[in-house]
């Protein structure tokens, strides 16, 4: 082995072997002992750090390599940009981009361009991502997938779908990764028609509804209100994993189908699929929506003791909401005080909601104080507490809280409605007149209001210009 270290090729190959085997310490030791290191040696070290999730060390190795005046190639930059993406460090990412412009023609390397796109989108800088995308003379399917998935990752679902339509006009043929990004966007926007088109596209191109794309299709139907279609996809899947079962359970929970969700969970266990934290979150949601306190307690207990899964804030929040809705406010309060993690705004907010339902003003005031310390800018908590005071006829306290909101320039977050017409999603907010057919829409609404008024349903029109 001692002689091997003097052969840089053998040394690099051995480093890659250790990296694949997950032995990062051995990679570092061999790198440190190798007297001759080339670009491949440094790239292998950086890749090993990135694979092991040691992104800071990967960045440090890259900086050290730059200090040695080693000229990096495209492969090294792809690995380095992956580390920056996972760190979410935009400033460092921009420095690497500047380095690329100085030393490498990014337009000649589609892989580096794709890595830059991924880095900018994961660092929430979509403007830079669009700029890189538009300047790329050559784009492959990975390029388009990076944009669609990255925009969906940022929650910019409409933009993701716009990018997909652009891909259909000028880009390559979509693959399964493309479809997953599109289906996720459809699911979050409730765009059923486009989701159904994707399903039809899968059938035409003989793409099986399995693995990631099958789970995304299932999730899309469930979130778009077609739980029957979601179950058909679920039943047609040849291989169902924990994500398939979990998506089905969560979908059923959202539709108030608690018993059906429990049956799917039982089937999951019979088929030997191990549940995860999200599976139990779905079960607790099902219990909460249906008011099944004993079932909720059972699943929470099983999660802790049978499956050794540590509850997160969302699990505690569901239990607090379940108990609170059932009138067991004292038990809900006890759960907060027994939490193994620090209660967050989600948990305290669930308890405040229970206080609002059952008119427990004293506890509500105590909870509100906690929420003001945790999240002083959340308008929903102030509105809940104001409603609690009003229901108890404590008008002065309600007015005082409203004045406090006004002094802090807090405004209630306006509601948002989405509707899909001919594959296009239209978004409306309270008081929003930005829609291009705004006048026509308000005219129709005025007409509806007049008809309702003539039947004695509405005393006066609430639609104004």
Concatenated DSSP letters of 125-160 = -HHHHHHHHHH-S---HHHHHHHHHHHHHTT-HHHH
**Helices of type H across 171-292:** 176-189, 192-204, 211-223, 227-236, 242-254, 258-270, 277-290
- Computed from CA positions of residues 25, 29, 32, 37, in that sequence, does the dihedral angle turn out positive or negative? negative
DSSP, res 73? -
pLDDT lower than 70: segments of the chain: 1-6, 103-108, 409-425, 429-431, 456-465
Provide the pLDDT for residue 2.
46
Fold observed for domain 1-138: 1.25.40
Provide the pLDDT for residue 423.
59
The ranges of the chain annotated as CATH 1.25.40.10 are: 1-138
Fold observed for domain 311-415: 1.25.40
User: What pTM does this model have?
Assistant: 0.77
Provide the pLDDT for residue 285.
95
Distance set, CA 89 to CA 58, 85, 125, 445, 456 (Å): 13, 7, 11, 48, 60
Those residues with Cβ within 8 angstroms of residue 450's Cβ, 6 or more apart along the chain or in another chain: 461
Provide the pLDDT for residue 5.
47
Q: 87 with 55: CB under 8 angstroms?
A: yes
Those residues with Cβ within 8 angstroms of residue 14's Cβ, 6 or more apart along the chain or in another chain: 4, 30
Distance in angstroms (rounded) separating the CA atoms of residues 190 and 418: 8
DSSP, res 455? T
């Amino acid at each position: 082995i001692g002689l091997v270290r003097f052969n840089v090729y053998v040394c690099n190959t051995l480093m890659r072997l250790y990296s694949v085997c997950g032995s990062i310490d051995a990679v570092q030791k061999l790198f440190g002992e190798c007297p001759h290191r080339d670009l491949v040696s440094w790239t292998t070290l950086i890749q090993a750090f990135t694979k092991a999730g040691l992104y800071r060390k990967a960045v440090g190795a890259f900086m050290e390599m730059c200090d040695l005046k080693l000229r990096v190639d495209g492969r090294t930059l792809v690995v380095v940009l992956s580390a920056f993406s996972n760190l979410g460090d935009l400033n460092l990412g921009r420095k690497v981009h500047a380095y690329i412009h100085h030393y490498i023609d990014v337009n000649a390397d589609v892989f580096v361009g794709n890595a830059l796109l991924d880095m900018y989108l994961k660092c929430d800088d979509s403007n830079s991502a669009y700029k890189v995308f538009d300047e790329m003379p050559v784009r492959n399917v990975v390029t388009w997938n990076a944009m669609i998935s990255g925009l969906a990752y940022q929650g910019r679902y409409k933009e993701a779908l716009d990018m997909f339509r652009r891909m259909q006009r000028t880009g390559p043929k979509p693959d399964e990764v493309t479809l997953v990004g599109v289906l996720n966007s459809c699911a979050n926007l409730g765009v059923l028609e486009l989701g159904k088109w994707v399903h039809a596209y899968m059938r035409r191109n003989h793409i099986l509804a399995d693995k990631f794309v099958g789970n995304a299709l299932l999730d899309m139907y469930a979130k778009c209100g077609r739980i029957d279609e979601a179950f058909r996809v679920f039943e047609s899947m040849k291989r169902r994993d924990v994500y398939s079962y979990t998506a089905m359970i969560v979908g059923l929970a959202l539709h108030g189908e608690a018993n059906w969700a429990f049956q799917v969970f039982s089937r999951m266990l019979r088929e030997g699929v191990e549940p995860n934290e999200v599976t139990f979150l779905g079960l607790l949601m099902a219990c909460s929506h249906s008011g099944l306190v004993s079932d909720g307690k059972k699943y929470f207990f099983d999660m802790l003791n049978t499956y050794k899964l540590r509850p997160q804030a969302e699990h505690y929040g569901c239990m607090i909401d379940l108990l609170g809705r059932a009138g067991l406010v004292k038990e809900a309060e006890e759960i907060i005080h027994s939490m193994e993690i620090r209660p967050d705004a989600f948990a305290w907010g669930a308890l405040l909601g229970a206080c609002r339902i059952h008119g427990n003003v004293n506890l509500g005031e105590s909870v509100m104080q906690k929420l003001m310390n945790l999240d002083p800018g959340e308008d929903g908590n102030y509105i809940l507490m104001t409603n609690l005071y009003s229901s108890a006829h404590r008008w002065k306290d309600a007015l005082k809280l409203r004045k406090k909101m006004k002094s802090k320039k807090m405004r209630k977050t306006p509601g948002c409605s989405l509707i899909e017409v001919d594959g296009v999603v239209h978004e409306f907010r309270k008081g929003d007149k930005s829609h291009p057919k705004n006048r026509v829409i308000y005219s129709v609404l005025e007409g509806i209001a007049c008809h309702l008024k003539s039947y004695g349903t509405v005393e006066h029109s609430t639609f104004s210009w």
